[in-house]
A and B are shown apart, each in its own frame.
Chain A
């Protein structure tokens, strides 16, 4: 049981490049989310999904795309990287069960630098 995994751990991009941050969970969780963490601003929600085929925008969605083709995977795509997207990115998952008080399980994070 690996929990939530993210790859890569570190990434450096040039402005305008595209890339995909990978996220996978093996707990059969319905909810999956992407957050970015910037100094002094806490974590902010980028996109989230309540199940395969269903995604929605969070607080800061611009410049990012997501898809959810399977329960396990929730990749985050940067279409054209900008320096403002330099951040640490966290993927999280949690259960839809009504009795579960949303213990979100977080991945280890990806530190992204855009030059």
Chain B
């Protein structure tokens, strides 16, 4: 069975600085997808970024980028130029290639942004 681990329950960053959230996963599959979701206090789940395992190039979405290390089974999220609105719970998630609708989530990392 696949597992996702986020070992940082809480992180803090100064506004305008850069922060990296860690995620590791375990799987025996070669084809899969990885995601980072943001959950602000409103509880809404917002997709931040996604990565296809077969792509070597790291995904980037504006200030958000990932460092995908397939051999190490590592998928970290880097937030550049942090903003107050980035404060939220961040979840790393895994999905098998042919298992749509089945996401496996990590425990989450609570990110606070200091002005």
Contact surface of A with B, Cβ cutoff 8 Å: 30-33, 35, 40-45, 48-50, 58-59, 88, 90, 92-96, 101-104, 106, 108-109
Q: A81 to B95: give the CA distance in the assembly, Å.
A: 30
Contact surface of B with A, Cβ cutoff 8 Å: 4, 6, 9, 33, 42-45, 47, 50, 52, 91, 93, 95, 100-108
Least distance between B28 CB and chain A CB atoms (Å): 18
> Which chain B residue lies CB-closest to A44?
B105
- 22 of the cross-chain contacts (CB-CB < 8 Å) are A31-B100, A31-B101, A32-B101, A42-B4, A42-B6, A42-B91, A42-B107, A43-B91, A43-B103, A50-B101, A58-B102, A88-B43, A90-B45, A93-B101, A96-B100, A101-B52, A102-B33, A102-B100, A103-B50, A104-B101, A106-B44, A108-B42
Q: A30 to B33: give the CA distance in the assembly, Å.
A: 19
What total of A-B pairs shows CB separation below 8 Å? 68
Least distance between B91 CB and chain A CB atoms (Å): 6
- Chain B residues with CB under 8 Å of A108's CB are 42-44
